[in-house]
């Protein structure tokens, strides 16, 4: 019983914690995203200007439009898709933010399958 009494204040304190959400700080700027593909670290650089994103990956540049659904959610659509897979829009949701980075969740619009990543502001 004593353990339960001590556990209650801890649970109350933890439940009051809210992840930081300063999503507006990331609507524009220059960013980088790193991921591992088949054991190799790959880096994507992109610049976002509110409703447009210009991405550079492995020397290739591509442009996408951004439709902001809320301060922390947007839909990314490639302007010049090269195949059917690139024609599908991607739903992005910023989960938490810090001074120079944010953690996000993404997946194809309408799909339940989601992945997570972390983006760093570089400028």
**Residues 2-57: tens digit of each pLDDT:** 444 444 454 444 444 455 678 999 999 999 999 888 999 999 999 999 799 999 99
Looking at the 3D structure of the chain, how many domains does it have? 1
| pTM metric for this prediction | 0.79
What is the pLDDT, as a whole number, of residue 15?
A: 47
What is the pLDDT, as a whole number, of residue 123?
A: 79
| Mean pLDDT on 67-92 | 94
| Mean pLDDT on 79-104 | 94
Residue 62's domain spans which residues?
24-121
The span from the CA of 113 to the CA of 100, in Å, is 27
Task: Flag whether 44 is in a domain.
Answer: yes
Alpha helices in the chain (DSSP H): 2-15, 84-87
Task: Flag whether 8 is in a domain.
Answer: no
The span from the CA of 121 to the CA of 61, in Å, is 18
Q: How many residues does the chain have?
A: 123
The mean pLDDT value of the chain amounts to 86
Task: Flag whether 10 is in a domain.
Answer: no
Phi and psi of 15, rounded to 5°?
-70, -20
């Amino acid at each position: 019983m004593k353990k339960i009494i001590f556990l209650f204040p801890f649970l109350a304190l933890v439940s009051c914690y809210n992840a930081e959400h300063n999503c507006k700080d990331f609507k524009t700027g220059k960013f980088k995203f790193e991921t591992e593909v088949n054991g190799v670290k790959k880096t994507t650089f992109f610049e976002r200007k509110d409703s447009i994103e210009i991405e550079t990956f492995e020397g290739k540049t591509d442009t996408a439009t951004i439709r902001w659904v809320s301060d922390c959610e947007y839909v990314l659509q490639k302007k010049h898709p090269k195949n059917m897979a690139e024609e599908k829009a991607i739903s992005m949701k910023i989960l938490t933010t810090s001074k120079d980075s944010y953690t996000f969740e993404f997946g194809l619009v309408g799909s339940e399958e989601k992945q997570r990543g972390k983006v760093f502001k570089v400028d």
